[in-house]
C-alpha cells in the first residue's frame, strides 16, 4: 500500500517536469528564430 502511495505522489511531478521541459524548448526555439 505504501509504495503505491509514493508512486502516485511521484507521477504528477514527472508529468509537470515533462510539460515544463516542452515549454522551455518552445521558448528556446522562438528565441533562436528571432
- pLDDT tens-digit map of 1-34: 577 776 677 777 888 888 999 999 999 999 898 7
pTM of the model: 0.51
Cα 31–Cα 23–Cα 26 angle in degrees, nearest 5: 35
Separation of alpha carbons 27 and 33, rounded Å: 10
Joined together, the cell numbers standing for residue 21 give 521541459
Q: Is 2 helix (H, G, I), strand (E, B) or coil?
A: helix
- CA dist 34 and 14 (Å) reads 31
Tell me the CA end-to-end span of the chain in Å, nearest whole number. 51
Amino acid at each position: 500500500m505504501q509504495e503505491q502511495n509514493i508512486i502516485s505522489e511521484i507521477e504528477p511531478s514527472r508529468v509537470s517536469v515533462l510539460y515544463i521541459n516542452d515549454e522551455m524548448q518552445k521558448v528556446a526555439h522562438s528565441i533562436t528564430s528571432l
